Structure formats: C-alpha cells, structure tokens
Amino acid sequence: MNEEFKLELSIRPRRLRSSVSRRALVAETRLAPSDLISPLFVVDGDGDPEPVEAMPGVVRFPVRRLVTECRELFELGIPAVALFPCLEASQKDATGSGALDGNTLVLRAVRAIKRDVPGLTVITDIALDPYTTHGHDGLLNGDGTDVDNDATVAVLTRMAVLHAETGVDWVAPSDMMDGRVGTIRAALDTAGATDTGILAYSAKFASAFYGPFREAVGSATGRDRPVLDKRTYQLEPGNRREALREVWLDESEGADVVMVKPAGPYLDIIRDVREQSGLPVAAYQVSGEYAQIHAAAERGWLDLRACRDESLLAIKRAGADMILTYFARAVAERR
C-alpha cells in the first residue's frame, strides 16, 4: 500500500478505541458484581457439597456450607442469592405438600442465612416442581393431563406467605400460572408482609436450556428421563407479543421486578420488556447457557472467561438491570 496515502477524515471513531483508558471512558455498558444474583442449590445433611455433574463448578450445599457461601458472596459485592432446594424422593408427593411445611429445607436455609448475613437479599422460588413426584410446577387436574391453574395458585399463595413470614426478601413465582402475582400480592399485604417483594418470572419460555437445572434439583426430568411437556403454562419460544402481554399482566398485578428466562436466546425479549416496562428487569442466564459455555471451553473451542463475560455483558446491554447467573462468584472474583 502507498505509504503516502492518507484519508481526509475529520471523524475517526477509532480515536475513542485507541487505548485501554479511552475505551474505559466511553464504555456504554458495564457489568459489576452488584448486577448479579447467584442461584444456589441446597440439600439436607452436614456432608460436603455435592457437585452437579452437568454444571462444572456448581454444587448443592448443605445448609451449614450454604451460609458460608452466602457470607462470602456478600463480601464479594453480590447483593442477592436465589435458593433452590433439592429434596429426597421421600419428601415429595403428587401434591407437593412439603412446600407448605414450615420446617422444609429451603426455609431452614433462609433462617440460617438471615441470622448470619442479614444484609443479603434472599430470594426463594415459588413453584411446586421441587416438591412433586411428577415434576410439574403445580397441582395436576383430575385426570392428570394438565396443571390445574386455580388450585395451583391457591397453594402457591400459601407458600409465598409462609416464605415471607420466614424472612424471605423477595418471593419469585416461577410457575407461569394465570393470576398468581395479584393473588400473592393481596395475600402478602393481608398478612402484613407489605415489604416482601415479588420477582415475577413473567416471560418464562418452554425452553430446551433447562436440562442441567432439573438434574441439579432432582426434579422428575433430567438426563435419561423424558422431558416434561410444560407448554400449557410456559411460553412458546417464538411468541414475542405474548411475552409482553405476560409482563404487562404481572406489572399490573403488583410485581416489583419482572424477569425473562432464559436470557441469552431471548435478548430481543429483554429489550422489548425494558422498553415497555418501568419496573426493574431481571434476566436468568439458565443452566444450559452456563453448561454450553463450559463444554465448549473444555474442548478448547472457546475462551471460558471471555465468552462468559461477553454473554453477561450482552444480557446487560439488552436491558437487564439484574442477572441471575451461575457465573456470579467467578465474575466477582475476577477469575
């Protein structure tokens, strides 16, 4: 190329990208530990944490070790955790009755965390799939062919009040039943739990990316077992307008935060929700998203840290105010 050649340009965007310090000054989207929520799995017992095979680096914590993990996460600047119990088969039944036990595993975990790390925001899942033998998120109808919406909402409402009375900061109905946010909000207020927030799984899609999570919580589906069909209550992956309708309904019923799940495959939905709603927007980078990045990195096809950070930055850039991610601790530790 002719070394004398010079473009006569007054506008050169590369001037803003020419050094690390300049790129830092003009960065439009930043990711910090305070943007993250760490999902944590809890099991009974006092043994060592149990690795989740399909999710490298993720474990199921006994309560004692869970409290230590929560303290360390809080010290790293992560403001919240979301708890998911993994119960023994003997603790499950067809109606998920264990969800209404005031001494159930997740509530024992909440009490222990709140004693030791009172400033940490604790979020609990309001759904019946960890408690049912069939693995659905609610009660089945008479012939067992579908989830009974209204009967399920009645149980979930009692469950949410029980969690609030135990000290949970945000209850997170993830079931996708019609009307559950408004019913839960009314019940919480009647019970005097006006400060308990609702993080609604507003746009939860019937996704193929949930498999490792179901293994982690020991639900009725997982590897080598048939995948449950939850399409009568979770959203069709191709439905954009329906997702926005669900978000609008949850907001109108009193949700404090609305969420899109999964995150990475639904960045357009996150952006749509951000533009439509005035509420804080959460996004859940689910187990399958986490596992696929790890799997590709283990084969040497991707750089784990770079892809992890880029995937989270994309979710934030799309409009999420907070991100549930299994990468939370690693990001906070800058490793």
Structure tokens at 199: 């993080």
Buried b / exposed e along 289-299 (16+ C-beta atoms within 10 A): bbbbbbeebee
Note the pLDDT tens digit of each residue in 264-315. 999 999 999 999 999 999 999 999 999 999 999 999 999 999 999 999 999 9
Note the pLDDT tens digit of each residue in 221-235. 545 555 689 999 999
DSSP character at residue 223: T
In the chain, where are the structural domains located? 31-332
What's the confidence (pLDDT) of residue 216?
A: 78
What's the confidence (pLDDT) of residue 223?
A: 53
**Catalytic: which of 92, 114, 230, 261?**
261
**Catalytic: which of 92, 114, 204, 316?**
204
- Taking domain 31-332, whether its CATH number is 3.20.20.70 is answered by yes
Which parts of the chain sit beneath pLDDT 70?
A: 1-2, 219-227
Residue 261 among the catalytic residues: yes
CA distance 148 to 150: 6
Residue 114 among the catalytic residues: no
What's the confidence (pLDDT) of residue 227?
A: 64
CA distance 19 to 214: 45
